[in-house]
Amino acid sequence: MLYVIITFMNGVTSDNLVNIIRKTLLESLQGILTDPDQGLELRPEIKRRLKKYSLAKSFRSHPLSEIKKKYA
């Protein structure tokens, strides 16, 4: 295996190597950062559950002065 890599690398210029690395990194990052569920629709029962949960757990904000007192 190492022989194959060394033989392959013999014919690769530094510019080609940079392009190979760049392409590999780009493909890897796209695989990690893209949403596999993009374009899919939620089932109605899931939408109802999410809506019920979000209404039950309403967001409560705190004044900055209260936060300063608590963490200062």
pLDDT at residue 53 is higher than 90? no
Residue 59, pLDDT score: 65
The residue type of 67 is I
Q: What are the boundaries of each domain within the chain?
A: 2-33+42-71
pLDDT tens, residue by residue, 6-45: 666 777 788 888 888 899 999 999 988 988 888 899 999 9
Query: pTM surpassing 0.85?
Result: no
